[in-house]
């Protein structure tokens, strides 16, 4: 386990979105809705299976002013971490 994986595993999310089985654009649309309700600095964890989210989520964060903390590959799914910015 590398340092980045350990650091991501230690993150305590304020909200968790289970997007397993959803395909583009649904994980991103659901994440937008949830993160809008969070306060600046809070963290959203997204659990998903869509490979496209690996590109969509970081790009959206950059555009929307949020901080993409990274992703972890797990058995059969991914965990993405986003910190609400502006």
Maximum distance among all alpha carbons in the chain? 33
Pairing of strands 15-19, 67-74: unpaired
Task: Specify the CATH superfamily of domain 3-83.
Answer: TusA-like domain (3.30.110.40)
Active site residue 24: yes
Q: What is the pLDDT of residues 23-64, one digit of tens each?
A: 999 999 999 999 999 999 999 999 999 999 999 999 999 999
Task: Judge contact between 34 and 45, C-beta under 8 A.
Answer: no
Distance, in Å, from the CA atom of 17 to the CA atom of 14, rounded to the nearest integer, reads 10
Of residues 4, 9, 18, 24, which has the active-site annotation? 24
65-77: per-residue pLDDT in tens?
Answer: 999 999 999 999 9
Strands (E), the chain: 15-19, 43-48, 67-74, 77-83
The whole-model pTM stands at: 0.90
Domains of the chain: which residue ranges? 3-83
């Amino acid at each position: 386990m590398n340092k980045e994986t350990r650091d991501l595993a230690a993150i305590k999310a304020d909200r968790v979105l289970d997007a397993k089985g959803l395909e583009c654009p649904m994980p991103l649309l659901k994440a937008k809705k949830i993160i809008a309700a969070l306060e600046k600095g809070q963290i959203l964890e997204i659990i998903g299976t869509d490979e496209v989210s690996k590109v969509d989520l970081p790009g959206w964060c950059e555009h929307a002013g949020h901080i993409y903390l990274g992703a972890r590959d797990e058995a059969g799914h991914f965990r993405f971490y986003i910190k609400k910015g502006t």
